[in-house]
Structure 1
Amino acid sequence: MLAPLIRIKLPLGRLSIPINLPVRFQSSLTSHLYPRPGDRVIVAMSGGVDSSVCAYLLHKQEYNVEGVYMRNWDTVDEKSVCTGDQDWKDVQNVCKQIGIPCRMINFIKEYWIQVFTKAIDDYARGLTPNPDVMCNREIKFGRLLEKILGSSHNDEDGIWMATGHYAQREVAPCGKIKLLRAVDSTKDQTYYLSTVPEEKLQRTIFPIGHLTKLQVRQIANEANLIIANKAESMGLCFVGEKNKFADFLGEWFVYQKDVENNSIIVVPGSTNILLFSRKLVARDWVWCWNKPPDGIEKGIDLLGQVRYRQVAEPCKVTMRSDFKYLVEFSVPIQAVAPGQYVAVWDGNWCLGGGVIEESLRDFDESDKITLTDSDQS
């Protein structure tokens, strides 16, 4: 069940707005599945509005809160568009304003090996990797969580990690954690967390998952947080300076990559029939509870996404004899790129995801007519 909610008013400067915050569990059966008063909660802070509001709200709830900033990229390159140095300053200033300690942890080496190098290798093989998914699994919910918990291996130690992800967690009757979509569907980030193992979520909380982005921004403003009006994060830093390729390419889109001949095939128009697929094959699948759902050999009906903010579409997921997965969508899906991730949901419950190995273009005549008409409009 979801943690019960209580409606309170937080003192936020001149104004106060009602916010639904999870009530702490005190029963012997559930108290260790949520932070208790006095527990130590380490907030992964980026210098942005979301993680700053997380720290602010948790500090108001009698937790022992500390901010942690991950340095994943070396900013020596002066031409880089990375804002890491300013972000760290923002984290320090926000934590000082709230009244909590903060520290920076260097993961440059780990990020280089586990995310950046792997992404470059994938690009070299003609794939389209998703470094954000990789970073969440390997760094934030991997090395950072390990660093936070240290030698702690049980809930009795009262140490937790909190992040500014738009996601929610629910404790199932069996005690395992369900990863649920955020209240704000336009900001939901469960796609990025789809391959994070369930045991990592046992010690993680998402303080703003029940809020909309508008509410989060309002809290930041009413609390007079110095980053209240800071722009959204640009994401990964290693790309460097922006270029003019988009102006040159215009309305041409990549249909296929030929690594052997070092060439790509492009087609005109974003709705060209060749850019759509009904089926895909995925590998390296991670199920939320470390095992596939019952009936997966014959196929089960779920909802699927192949990129962030895509509208989830009905699909059938079947485990093949080689333990890879065939995902068949009810409608053609645009830009199914090998190397990206496909994630699946049962309603709002994210069941897991895998790496797209290949897309299979399988259309009937009605699909062709619909897409061709759309392309001409």
Structure 2
Amino acid sequence: GMGSGRARVTCVERVPKLRSAGGYQVTGVFMKNWDPLDEQGACSVDRDCEDAYRVCQKLDIPFHQVSYVKEYWNEVFSDLLKEYELGRTPNPDIVCNKHIKFNHFLHYAMDNLGADAIATGHYARTSLEDEEVFQQKHMKRPRELFRNRFEVRNTVKLLQGADLFKDQTFFLSQISQDALRKTIFPLGDLTKSFVRKIASEHGLHHVLKKKEACSTFLFQSMGICFIGERNFEKFLLEYLEPQPGNFVSIEDKKVMGTHKGWFLYTIGQRARLAGQQDAWFVVDKDVSTGDIFVAPSTDHPALYRDLLRTNRVHWIAEEPPAELVRDKMMECHFRFRHQMALVPCVLTLNQDGSVWVTLVKPARALTPGQFAVFYKGDECLGSGKILRLGPSVFTMQQGRNREEGTKKEDIDKVEPAT
């Protein structure tokens, strides 16, 4: 399963004598990242854990539980709150994979369970054959300050899953080479419907009845899975102080209503304005004043932009890609939401490892705090967090109108030649 509270991660250990599960000795591990004690019994962690245990019983493999509640709080959730306070919309699933699943959990599997690899249920593939994964020796090596420029790196590429609609490389775009080298994705070549068929043939009916594991995408275009179906606004206000402010029309700067905090709204989202019949949409935020700018249509030009800047990009295989280093720019594709169509763009590399992303045509609702995930063909190159946006199409139009206006006035002011 994707996402936090319900990650069902199988840890796979190589024992040639046992020809179970394609020649692997398999151990099941259930990860718990959120403590349901805070809530009013709304959490499904216990039920999910029970489901995972039943799968392991059915397959007759060992079952372990690990808890990363503390690590999740420190490395994922506190970062999420900080992002919201800065007026951004975070993506906890990407951060959770980076820090929890493919770091803490990976090391637990290697060091405590003696595993040679981990297997997760992501729809993704790598450039390594499974056999090659097991030839890689796991070394507890000191984290060098600098990577040795001369070591021959057997770089592993992250590739899209065969089922492009289910592809989950988006969520894996921040994981390290070391982790990728030790991971197999058994679902990478399969479609969702085929996976369901395998599950039913093996009598795993209780998991087939489950809803899509963790795609509880709230109205925030992000899945904080452990929140489940609860009211997202109420949940966030348990952790963040209300920051009241105004909804302001982007067109005439008129105050359209009030809100409890800019962190409750994300760009592109519908804003429910009291007394307004029409739908208005969030197009921008000003954290210094607390204003949220809204526009009166879902495809208003204020929602479209063709330029963004990331933080330092995490490149998966080649850091940074040779072409980008050589030419200082590179054509590729990107997405900033799971399952959105890939958008063609040009990257420009900055001194600090961040990139400017120029889109071939303006995209709707680019959102600071979300990750821009880059692709070349079916390879996922890595990702960077969106920190800055260029001007919207609406702003550019206004600028042009003003310029044309002044030109016209200048012409009118010129004294007629007598």
Q: Fold match, TM over 0.5? A: yes
Secondary structure of 1:143's counterpart equals helix
Match of 2:207 in 1: 227
In 1, are the aligned partners of 2:272 and 2:279 still within 8 Å (CA)? no
- Please give the residue correspondences for 1:199-278 in structure 2 after superposition, counting only pairs within 5 Å: 199-225=178-204, 226-233=206-213, 234=216, 235=223, 236-238=225-227, 241-242=230-231, 248=272, 251-278=279-306
Q: Deviations over 1:24-63 (max 9, x none)?
A: xxxxxxxxxxxxxxxxxxx9998989868x99xx953131
For residues 389 and 45 of structure 2, the distance between their equivalents in structure 1, rounded to whole angstroms, comes to 36
Cα separation, partners in 2 of 1:180 and 1:228, compared to 1, 3 Å: same
The one of 191, 196, 210 equivalent to 2:170 is 191
Cα separation, partners in 2 of 1:148 and 1:168, compared to 1, 3 Å: same
For residues 28 and 361 of structure 2, the distance between their equivalents in structure 1, rounded to whole angstroms, comes to 44
Match of 1:374 in 2: none
Cα separation, partners in 2 of 1:279 and 1:333, compared to 1, 3 Å: same
Match of 2:409 in 1: none
- Please give the residue correspondences for 1:20-35 in structure 2 after superposition, counting only pairs within 5 Å: none
Deviation, structure 1 residue 218: 1.1
Deviation, structure 1 residue 269: 2.5
Match of 2:312 in 1: 284
The one of 302, 308, 315 equivalent to 2:332 is 302
In 2, are the aligned partners of 1:44 and 1:51 still within 8 Å (CA)? no
Deviation, structure 1 residue 242: 2.4
The one of 48, 55, 71 equivalent to 1:110 is 71
Q: Deviations over 1:38-91 (max 9, x none)?
A: xxxxx9998989868x99xx9531311011111100011343643111000101
Letter in 2 for 1:68: V
Secondary structure of 1:284's counterpart equals coil
In 1, are the aligned partners of 2:301 and 2:392 still within 8 Å (CA)? no
For residues 299 and 146 of structure 1, the distance between their equivalents in structure 2, rounded to whole angstroms, comes to 36
In 2, are the aligned partners of 1:177 and 1:202 still within 8 Å (CA)? yes
For residues 163 and 63 of structure 2, the distance between their equivalents in structure 1, rounded to whole angstroms, comes to 28
- State percent identity of aligned pairs: 33
Letter in 2 for 1:121: K
TM-score (norm 1): 0.76
Secondary structure of 2:178's counterpart equals helix
For residues 7 and 86 of structure 2, the distance between their equivalents in structure 1, rounded to whole angstroms, comes to 37
In 2, are the aligned partners of 1:282 and 1:354 still within 8 Å (CA)? yes
Match of 2:373 in 1: 343
Deviation, structure 1 residue 141: 0.5
In 1, are the aligned partners of 2:6 and 2:48 still within 8 Å (CA)? yes
Q: Deviations over 1:88-107 (max 9, x none)?
A: 01011111011111111010
TM-score (norm 2): 0.69
Q: Which runs of 5+ in 2 are unaligned?
A: 14-18, 130-151, 217-222, 234-263, 265-269, 399-418
- Please give the residue correspondences for 1:57-136 in structure 2 after superposition, counting only pairs within 5 Å: 59-79=20-40, 81-136=42-97
Q: Deviations over 1:313-368 (max 9, x none)?
A: 11111102343201111121111111110011110001111010111136599x99
For residues 363 and 44 of structure 1, the distance between their equivalents in structure 2, rounded to whole angstroms, comes to 36
Q: Deviations over 1:205-260 (max 9, x none)?
A: 00001001111111111211031221112352247722699794683322112212
- Number of residues of Structure 1 aligned to a counterpart in Structure 2: 319
* Larger helix proportion of the pair: 2
RMSD: 3.3
Letter in 1 for 2:288: E
Match of 1:167 in 2: 124
For residues 271 and 389 of structure 2, the distance between their equivalents in structure 1, rounded to whole angstroms, comes to 28
In 1, are the aligned partners of 2:310 and 2:384 still within 8 Å (CA)? yes
Match of 2:244 in 1: none
For residues 357 and 276 of structure 1, the distance between their equivalents in structure 2, rounded to whole angstroms, comes to 16
- Please give the residue correspondences for 1:311-326 in structure 2 after superposition, counting only pairs within 5 Å: 311-326=341-356
For residues 305 and 97 of structure 1, the distance between their equivalents in structure 2, rounded to whole angstroms, comes to 39
Match of 1:29 in 2: none
Match of 1:6 in 2: none
For residues 315 and 159 of structure 1, the distance between their equivalents in structure 2, rounded to whole angstroms, comes to 38
Match of 1:333 in 2: 363
Letter in 2 for 1:224: G
Cα separation, partners in 2 of 1:364 and 1:78, compared to 1, 3 Å: closer
Cα separation, partners in 2 of 1:305 and 1:111, compared to 1, 3 Å: same
Cα separation, partners in 2 of 1:48 and 1:211, compared to 1, 3 Å: farther
Q: Deviations over 1:174-233 (max 9, x none)?
A: 632110000111110001111111221010000001001111111111211031221112
Letter in 1 for 2:378: N
For residues 326 and 182 of structure 1, the distance between their equivalents in structure 2, rounded to whole angstroms, comes to 27
Secondary structure of 2:323's counterpart equals coil
In 1, are the aligned partners of 2:302 and 2:394 still within 8 Å (CA)? no
Match of 1:15 in 2: none
